[in-house]
């Protein structure tokens, strides 16, 4: 499912322009981090992907279809959007019912719904809590529940808004696990996140936003070179990138393993 | 996003007046709107009392715009409903089985004038008075602190819940929830929309209460105030005068000014 | 300034204690970090240190807990207000909503305590300067960024001159700029006012820059208590679910790959790591 943004502009009513003449193409299967300060326009841009917002000017095409010609409910078949605060969507009395809500709305059969619900809860490690009341779970578990609720819709594009916020290492690993399942299935994944270290371990493309515009759209090697631009966007490079830069490495590592591979080469040169 | 109250800051003598003086002036307008018998008198209250006050406060444009915006739906429905359905003999117009009668129009004019004065008086009060200063004036005179707090908080926090409600709506739509359509579909959408709003607000009540606690909210003893309200003896005199006029109007009404 | 001895607390209707047998002591003027996995009891401890437990939240407790010289269970919440401040994750929930300007918001605590007007004016001015909010004094508390709102929340407590400040994951919901603003404010605070600070945090890199000591909580018990350089590099914390810095993780993995021979202390921050990977190369 290809996503295309053609020169879109958008303002919230009575407000400053949130997006200015923005163009972007996202191919199926890409893994993207959408980063920048709060107010830069990340969520505003992301909400155009599933039709929650329609541009004032320009077009947004999802799988070739203009989002203006269709509804949010129909786009929900293709683009899943995980909001930041799970407490702003939970309403069922069991975890199972909660996660079933999305797939049921999409029209899957009960058997398919059950299968997707279980797969999603397995992915986030909450399968044991099927019959629990969501509000009996810890806040961090509710966060994972929120992610599972959208994952169960089995969309080809998944947008996650701050998926690791408030999670400890175990929770982060569960999100990571879910993302790897997405990658294996060829899904397009878009992470909106302040946790650049987590992004660096999962994505290949960084879209850096500030002031409603895309400041830079690049892979890890070039994304973190321009420190001045990053400062303007309110960002610091991921920890391993900073370390690699200060040691003078030629390319930029995303994971610890990549860092060590580069380190080995660096040692050999010495 | 700024606070959604109507208050507009200006350097006018009206703005500098004590909040209770402003309350008294507006109170007079409201009582006049309720007690005066003749629509023309009531329109005079609007044109010769409220409008000059708005001018003095430097908020005339906002005042006129708000009054108009608020009154026209009332005016329209009143003139149509009373005009066509109130009892009367003097027929002005006939459209099929419906007859437009003069008595109805006069009745509508009376109601419209009163509603205009009431709504625009409240609008004017909000335009020229800082809500927290008004609450301070009232709590200084004996209004329980908690009530003042509740009113002020309602003005600021409730609109934020509106934003949360919108986020909830977005979240559920993104999960495929149909919010438009027939009645049954809309009823089905109620729980996924209402439950998270209520539940998330309840979850946060503890935190809010603790935060207030940490700021000494339940501290016993006299409270002081950073804000200072300036009062003058002439304003005190004015307020007494206004109170007398208000009582006179009420007496007049009771004495039998005829209302339609 | 903070002293706990065998402190145990159980929420009503819970079988297991939320906090078990805690004993530690925080000297005056120090900046301590509190880390641990979700559900370890960090928030519960923050509530206990600020007196919210047992005066707002009911439950059974045993052991001793004294903060700012006050015996917490035996005193009242009123005695603690103004002595111990509490700041938590969500900036929005900490804004009272009853004041229309930042200046008014910061003044609220002092107004409630009945402080004389002239003193309020002075202290509010001073606190706004410290928090970097002086230019925004007349703005609505709701017209601020997350980082600014959190600084406002801190300022609103600071104006009451607490001797102890407890913060429960204050930067969790903030972007990097906001996080930086909050930590800078806290750092200044320790420098100037000698306030004792305890902050529950996930962002270890920041904590390492500022903390004098780290307390590790797991399943309601203390799992470690010591200097940042040793605690934050202890394999224990990763095992219990705390994300170490990538620098620590890279160094540990480098040793496993035999790329590093020497047994030097593992790095926590960027400057540690720079030195570590340059100097200890085989």
Contact between A127 and B228 under an 8 Å Cβ cutoff? The reply is no
Q: Which residues in chain C are closer than 8 Å to B218, comparing Cβ atoms?
A: 77-78
Give yes or no for residue B151 having a pLDDT over 70. Answer: yes
Mapping DSSP to helix (H, G, I), strand (E, B) and coil, where does residue C9 land? strand
Beta-carbon contacts of A216 under 8 Å, excluding residues fewer than 6 positions away, are A206, A207, A208, A222, A223, A226, A229
| Reported confidence tier of residue A33, pLDDT bands at 50, 70, 90 | very high
A88: chain B residues, CB-CB within 8 Å: 164, 167-168, 171, 196, 200
Return the residue matching tokens 């709107």. B33
Question: Does the CB of B213 have a partner CB in chain C at under 8 Å?
Answer: yes
The 3-state secondary structure of B88-122, one letter per residue:
CCCEEEEECCEEEEHHHHHHHHHHHHHHHHHHHHH
Chain C interface, best mutation among A176, A244, A247, A259, by max C CB count within 10 A: A259
Q: Which two tokens stand for residue C37?
A: 């996995």
Chain A: give the shortest CA distance to residue C148, in Å: 12
Q: What are phi and psi of C214, to 5 degrees?
A: -120, 135
Nearest to C110 by CA among C129, C125, C97: C125
pLDDT tens digits, residue range A54-76? 999 999 999 999 999 999 999 99
* Cα distance between residue A19 and residue C276, in whole Å: 44
- C11 shares contact with chain A (CB less than 8 Å): no
CB B151 within 8 A of CB B30: no
Q: How many residues belong to chain B?
A: 260
Distance CA A120, CA A185 (A): 13
Q: Do C67 and C2 form a contact (C-beta atoms < 8 A)?
A: yes
Query: What pLDDT is stored for residue A58 in this prediction?
Result: 94
Closest approach of chain C CAs to the CA of A171, in angstroms? 8
Mark yes or no for CB contact A52/B191 under 8 Å: no
CB contact under 8 A, B207 and C100: no
pLDDT per residue, tens digit, chain C (282 aa), is 899 999 999 999 888 999 999 999 999 989 999 999 999 999 999 999 999 998 888 899 999 999 998 999 988 888 888 889 999 888 888 998 888 899 999 999 999 888 999 999 999 999 998 888 999 888 888 888 888 899 999 999 999 989 999 999 999 988 888 898 899 888 887 777 788 999 999 989 989 888 999 999 999 999 999 999 999 999 999 999 999 999 999 999 998 888 877 778 899 999 999 989 987 555
Within 8 A of A240 by CB-CB distance, chain C residues are 246, 250
**DSSP tag of B50:** I
Cβ-Cβ pairs closer than 8 A, A with C, add up to 91
DSSP E strands, C122-175: 164-168
**Nearest residue of B to residue A80 by CA position?**
B174
CA nearest to A205, candidates A154, A254, A257: A254
Which positions in chain B touch A91 (Cβ < 8 Å)?
Answer: 191-192, 195-196, 199
Give the span between the Cα atoms of C51 and A79, in whole angstroms: 46
Q: Which residues in B lie closer than 8 A to residue C77 (C-beta atoms)?
A: 213, 218
CB atoms A256 and C257 under 8 Å: no
pLDDT at B259: 54
- CB under 8 Å to B44, separation ≥6 — which residues? none
Which residues in chain B touch residue A90, judged by CB atoms under 8 angstroms apart?
A: 195-196, 199
- By C-alpha distance, the chain C residue nearest B158 is C97
CA-nearest residue to B167 within chain A is A88
Whether B169 contacts B194, CB under 8 Å? no
SS3 C83: coil
Name the CA dihedral angle for C252, C253, C254, C258, rounded to a multiple of 10 degrees: 100
Q: Which residues of C touch B215 (CB under 8 A)?
A: 81, 96, 108-109, 112, 156-157, 160
Which tokens belong to A199?
């992004």
Q: Which residue has the higher pLDDT, B158 or A199?
A: A199
Q: Do the chains contact at B168 and A90, CB–CB below 8 Å?
A: no
Contact check, Cβ <8 Å, C111/B222:
no
CA distance B80 to chain C (A): 42
Closest chain B residue to C90, measured at CA: B207
Query: Min CA distance, C22 vs chain B (Å)?
Result: 24
Cα dihedral sign for B147, B149, B153, B155? positive
- Interchain CB contact of C274 with A (< 8 Å): yes
Residue B193 has pLDDT above 70, yes or no: yes
| Helix (H) or strand (E) segment spanning residue C23 | strand C19-26
Given an 8 Å threshold on Cβ–Cβ distance, is B225 in contact with C78?
no
- Set of chain A residues whose Cβ sits within 8 Å of the Cβ of B165: none
3-state secondary structure of A204: coil
pLDDT score recorded for residue A185: 96
Phi, psi of B198 (to 5 degrees): -65, -50
Label the pairing between strands C221-226 and C213-218: antiparallel
- B19 at C interface, C-beta within 8 A: no
Chain A CB contacts of C245 below 8 Å: 239
Q: Name residues 128-157 of chain B within 8 A of C (Cβ).
A: 130-132, 135, 148-149, 152-153, 156-157
A150 neighbourhood in chain B, CB within 8 Å: 174-175
CA dihedral A31, A37, A38, A40 (to 10 degrees): -80
Neighbours of A25 (CB within 10 A): 12
C270 touching A, CB under 8 A? yes
List for chain B the helix, strand, coil content (%; round to 5): 70, 5, 25
The yes-or-no verdict on residue B256 having pLDDT over 80 is no
Query: How close does chain B come to A76, measured CA to CA in Å?
Result: 6
Tell if the CB–CB gap between A83 and B171 is shorter than 8 Å. yes
List the structure tokens of C192: 């100037």
Higher-pLDDT residue of A203, A269: A203
Q: What six digits make up the tokens of B193?
A: 């929309």
Q: Is A12 on the interface with B (CB under 8 A)?
A: no
Would you call A140 an interface residue with chain C, using a CB distance cutoff of 8 Å? yes
Sheet holding A17-26, edge to edge: A17-26, A3-11, A57-62, A65-66
Tens of pLDDT along C131-156? Answer: 889 998 888 888 888 888 999 999 99
Interface partners of chain B (CB pairs < 8 Å, 3 or more) are: A, C
Does the pLDDT at position B2 exceed 50? no
What integer pLDDT is reported at residue B1 of this predicted model?
Answer: 33
| Burial category of C161 from C-beta neighbours within 10 Å (exposed 0-12, middle 13-18, buried 19 and up) | middle
Q: In chain C, which residue's Cα lies nearest the Cα of A35?
A: C175
Contacts with B133 from chain C: Cβ below 8 Å: none
Least confident of A26-35, B101-110, B164-173, C113-122: B101-110
Helix (H, G, I), strand (E, B) or coil at B204: helix
Cβ partners under 8 Å of residue B102, min gap 6? B88, B90, B91, B92
Contact residues on chain A for B170, CB-CB shorter than 8 A: 47, 52, 83
Question: Could you tell me if C259 lies within 8 Å of chain A, comparing CB atoms?
Answer: yes
pLDDT tens for B83-133 read 888 887 778 878 777 888 888 888 888 899 999 999 999 999 988 888 888
Tell me how long chain C is.
Answer: 282
Average pLDDT for B7-31:
87
> Chain B closest CA to C240's CA: distance in Å?
28
CB A144 within 8 A of CB A124: yes
Task: Check pLDDT > 50 for residue B3.
Answer: no
8 Å CB contact of A90 and B172: no
Residue of C201, C142, C214 whose CA lies nearest to C172: C201
Q: For residue C170, which phi and psi values (nearest 5 degrees)?
A: -70, -20
Answer whether A165 sits within 8 Å of C173, measured CB to CB. Answer: yes
Whose CA is closest to C86, among C113, C58, C124, C46? C46
pLDDT 10s digits, C158-210: 999 899 999 999 999 888 888 988 998 888 877 777 889 999 999 899 898 88
pLDDT tens track for A125-158: 999 999 999 989 999 999 999 999 999 999 999 9
Structure tokens at C73: 């269970």
Q: List residues of chain B with CB under 8 Å from any CB of chain A.
A: 164, 167-168, 170-178, 191-192, 195-196, 199-200, 203
Mean pLDDT of chain A: 93
| Interface membership of C143 toward A (CB under 8 Å) | no
Across the interface, whether the CB atoms of B196 and A73 are under 8 A apart is answered: no
- The whole-chain average pLDDT of chain B stands at 85
Residue located via tokens 């309602």: B154
- Per the CB < 8 Å rule, is B214 touching C111? no
> Does residue A116 or residue A227 have the better pLDDT?
A116
Q: Is the pLDDT of residue B6 over 80?
A: no
Are B219 and C114 an interchain contact pair (Cβ–Cβ within 8 Å)?
yes
């Amino acid at each position: 499912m290809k996503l295309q943004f053609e020169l879109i502009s958008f303002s919230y009513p009575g407000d400053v322009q949130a997006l200015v003449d923005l163009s972007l193409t996202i191919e199926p299967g890409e893994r993207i981090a959408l980063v920048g300060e709060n107010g830069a326009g990340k969520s505003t841009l992301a909400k155009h992907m599933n039709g929650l917002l329609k541009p004032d000017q320009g077009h947004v095409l999802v799988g070739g279809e203009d989002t203006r010609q269709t509804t949010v409910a129909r786009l929900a078949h293709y683009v899943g959007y995980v909001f930041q605060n799970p407490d702003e969507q939970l309403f069922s009395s069991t975890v199972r019912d909660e996660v079933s809500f999305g797939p049921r709305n999409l029209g899957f059969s009960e058997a398919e719904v059950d299968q997707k619900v279980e797969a999603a809860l397995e992915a986030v490690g909450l399968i044991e809590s099927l019959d629990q009341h969501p509000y009996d779970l810890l806040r961090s578990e509710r966060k994972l529940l929120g992610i599972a609720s959208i994952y169960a819709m089995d969309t080809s594009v998944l947008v996650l808004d701050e998926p690791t916020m408030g999670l400890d290492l175990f929770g982060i690993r569960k999100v990571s696990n879910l993302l790897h399942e997405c990658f294996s299935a060829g899904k397009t994944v878009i992470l909106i996140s302040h946790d650049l270290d987590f992004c660096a371990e999962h994505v290949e493309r960084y879209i850096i936003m500030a002031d409603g515009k895309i400041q830079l759209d690049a892979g890890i090697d070039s994304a973190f070179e321009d420190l001045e631009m990053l400062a303007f966007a309110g960002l610091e490079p991921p920890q391993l990138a900073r370390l690699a830069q200060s040691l003078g490495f030629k390319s930029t590592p995303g994971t610890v393993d990549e860092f060590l591979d580069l380190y080995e080469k660096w040692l050999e040169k010495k | 996003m700024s606070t959604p109250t109507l208050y507009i800051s200006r350097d006018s003598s009206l703005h500098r007046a004590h909040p209770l003086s402003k309350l008294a002036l507006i109170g007079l307008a409201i009582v006049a709107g309720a007690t005066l018998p003749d629509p023309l008198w009531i329109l005079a209250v609007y044109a010769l009392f409220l409008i000059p006050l708005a001018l003095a406060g430097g908020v005339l444009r906002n005042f006129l715009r708000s009054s108009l915006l608020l009154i026209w739906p009332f005016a329209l429905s009143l003139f149509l409903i009373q005009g066509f359905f109130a009892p009367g003999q003097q027929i002005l117009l006939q459209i099929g089985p419906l007859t437009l009668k003069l008595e109805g129009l006069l009745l509508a004019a009376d109601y419209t004038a009163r509603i205009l004065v009431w709504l625009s008086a409240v609008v004017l009060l909000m335009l020229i008075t800082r809500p927290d200063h008004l609450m301070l004036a009232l709590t200084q005179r004996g209004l329980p602190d908690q009530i003042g707090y509740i009113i002020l908080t309602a003005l600021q926090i409730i609109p934020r819940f509106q934003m949360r409600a919108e986020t909830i709506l977005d979240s559920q739509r993104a999960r495929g929830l149909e919010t438009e359509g027939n009645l049954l579909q809309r009823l089905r959408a109620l729980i996924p929309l209402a439950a998270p709003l209520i539940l998330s607000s309840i979850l946060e009540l503890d935190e809010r209460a603790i935060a207030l606690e940490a700021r000494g909210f339940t501290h016993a003893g006299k409270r002081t105030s950073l804000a200072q309200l300036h009062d003058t003896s002439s304003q005190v005199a004015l307020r007494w005068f206004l109170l007398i006029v208000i009582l006179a109007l009420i007496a007049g009404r009771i004495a039998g000014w005829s209302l339609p | 300034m903070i002293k706990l001895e065998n402190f145990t607390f159980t929420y009503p209707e819970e079988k297991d204690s939320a906090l078990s047998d805690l004993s530690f002591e925080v000297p005056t003027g120090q900046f301590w970090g509190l880390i641990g996995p979700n559900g370890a009891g960090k928030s519960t401890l923050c509530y206990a240190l600020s007196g919210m437990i047992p005066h707002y939240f009911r439950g059974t407790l045993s052991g001793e807990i004294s903060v700012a010289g006050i015996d917490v269970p035996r005193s009242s919440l009123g005695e603690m207000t103004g002595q111990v401040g509490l700041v938590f994750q969500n900036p929005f929930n900490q804004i009272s909503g009853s004041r229309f300007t930042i200046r008014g918001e910061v003044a609220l605590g002092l107004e409630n305590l009945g402080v004389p007007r002239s003193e309020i004016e002075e202290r509010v001015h001073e606190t706004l300067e410290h928090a970097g909010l002086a230019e925004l004094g007349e703005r609505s508390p709701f017209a601020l960024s997350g980082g600014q709102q959190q600084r406002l929340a801190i300022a609103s407590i600071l104006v009451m001159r607490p001797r102890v400040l407890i913060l429960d994951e204050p930067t969790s919901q903030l972007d990097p700029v906001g996080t930086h603003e909050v930590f800078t404010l806290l750092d200044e605070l320790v420098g100037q006012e000698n306030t004792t600070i305890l902050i529950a945090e996930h962002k270890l890199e920041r904590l390492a820059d500022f903390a004098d000591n780290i307390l590790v909580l797991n399943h309601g018990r203390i799992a470690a208590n010591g200097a940042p350089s040793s605690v934050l590099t202890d394999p224990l914390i990763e095992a219990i679910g705390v994300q170490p810095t990538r620098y620590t993780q890279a160094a540990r993995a480098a040793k496993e790959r035999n790329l590093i021979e020497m047994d030097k202390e593992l790095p926590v921050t960027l400057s540690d790591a720079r030195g570590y990977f340059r100097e200890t190369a085989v």
